[in-house]
Structure 1
Amino acid sequence: MDVNVKAVLFDLDGTLLDTAPDMANAANCVLADYGLSPLNERQIKANTSYGARGLLRAGFGNQIEGKDLDALRQSFLHYYANNICTTTQLYPGVVTLLDGLDAMGVPWGIVTNKPGFLTEMLLPYFPRLLSTGTLVCADTLSKAKPHPEPLLHAAMELGIDNQACLYIGDIEGDIIAANAANMISAVAAWGYIGSEHKPLEWDSDLVFNKPEEILSLF
């Protein structure tokens, strides 16, 4: 595909950072409070990018019926905030990618559905991410992904036309948001894509298997 990319916007969990072990640990703490078994690897991979609700729904299964999901989420957030970066790490190739973008003068930013207070707690552990040109979190605006507004806001902050922005993420909602924002959409195939997901059916413009491959666009 012939594209003219002038800026790159990234999802965070499952795209720049492998947060799955720490998020799964928080979910498992909530499950343990209810006497339930911990999440298995398949559940973790398939649901981490859907945040607290995705992980908890997977863990509780049918027992989620009748539960106060907001209260469960608050419990998850408590556990996660207290152990937000025990094993979280940058994906291999991310630093190479960001260094390459900076060397070429290509602006980049982060648009995530992670709550702002958690994102602000987590990013200082990864100084390379603190040079992001824009940071839009789940609660920065009144809308979150898959609504296009967060992506359009990020493009505006970077001063780049939305049609010249690439947005890359690892769940279908990211692709829906990018397409709705008239951006170039791409799947981060190295992220949390479960066996039941079908990323080739997500109507994305591009699929990348490694972060460094994005540099081929420039």
Structure 2
Amino acid sequence: MTPSTVLFDLDGTLLDTAPDMGEAANRVLAEFDLPPLTREQIYTHTSFGARGLLTAGFGKQAKFQDPIALRARFLYHYGQAICQGTQVYDGIEALLDRLSRLKICWGIVTNKPEGLTHQLLAHFPRLQAAQVIVGADTYAHAKPHPLPLLEAAKTLNCAPERCFYVGDIENDTLAARAANMQSVVAGWGYTGDPALISNWEADHIFTTPAQLSAFLGS
């Protein structure tokens, strides 16, 4: 099925944000005299946001910390240096060009706070052209709840079953399924062990943006 709309996750799908997300987490850890996260830890946990990164960094000490306060510190540091190392994935801009040529609507549905999402996208004009942008706090629920996806589809006047949702973690697949959308795994992102992806029961798995682009036709 050729979709009428393609919705994308942001971190690990359109943008490699791990360098800046990891740096923000490491600044919080430094405030507690804890060692920094390794590169492997950063790339494993970035798609799970502040919670994932800080839980990895604090380890057994995490249960003794105030998660709300830690998240606030993380978001502060992240907002101060939001685009020092972040880059758009190779092939994404070509994919978006293909969507435009095919007259397929596209948008962004992320669990990054909406304010920080717009702050980050200001550095990437091509991504700012998204026809809908939904953050974690845009609506009452964030992914894997289907509400953000359903509202994005409604904004674009597209039936959910005519939408693809592209993301790099299992929760993205769960959100798509709950919204009655086709789930697409961005295998170029922070998916983790490739052997486990088949367990997500996604509708499509692509290892590069170019593969997804080719699937959509010419």
Cα displacement string for residues 73-127 of structure 1 (whole angstroms, at most 9, x for unaligned residues): 1011111000000010100000000011101111000000000110011001000
In the alignment, the residues of structure 2 paired with residue 212 and residue 160 of structure 1 have an alpha-carbon distance, to the nearest angstrom, of 24
3-state SS in 2 of match to 1:125: coil
> Which position in structure 1 is the counterpart of 2:31?
33
SS across alignment from 1:198: helix
Provide structure 2 residue ranges, at least 5 long, that are not aligned to the other structure.
Answer: none
Which of the residues 66, 69, 72 maps onto 1:68?
A: 66
Distance in 2, matches of 1:45 and 1:196, equals: 14
Match of 1:217 in 2: 216
Letter in 1 for 2:61: Q
Distance in 2 between residues matched to 1:36 and 1:169, nearest whole Å: 31
Measured after TM superposition, the shift of residue 196 of structure 1 is: 8.7
Q: 1:122 aligns with which of 120, 123, 126?
A: 120
Q: Does 1:109 align with 2:107?
A: yes
Q: Mapping of 1:47-196 within 5 angstroms?
A: 47-195=45-193
Offset of 1:144 from its aligned partner? 0.5
Map of 1:43 onto structure 2: 41
Alpha-carbon spacing, 1:200–1:139, altered in 2? closer, same or farther (3 Å): same
Report if aligned partners of 1:31, 1:59 keep a CA contact under 8 Å in 2. yes
Aligned positions, number: 216
Report the 3-state secondary structure (helix = DSSP H, G, I; strand = E; otherwise coil) of the residue aligned with 2:112. coil
Moved over 4 A (4+): none
In 1, the alpha carbon distance for the partners of 2:17 and 2:133 equals 18
Which amino acid letter does the alignment assign opposite residue 93 of structure 1? G
Which AA in structure 2 matches 1:214? Answer: L
Distance 2:15 2:50 in 1: 16
Alignment partners' CA distance in 1, 2:135 and 2:187:
22
Q: Does 1:200 align with 2:198?
A: yes
Q: What SS class does the counterpart of residue 28 from structure 2 fall into?
A: helix
Aligned mates of 2:165, 2:44 — CA distance in 1: 20
Task: Give 5+ residue unaligned stretches, structure 1.
Answer: none
| TM-score, normalised with respect to structure 2 | 0.96
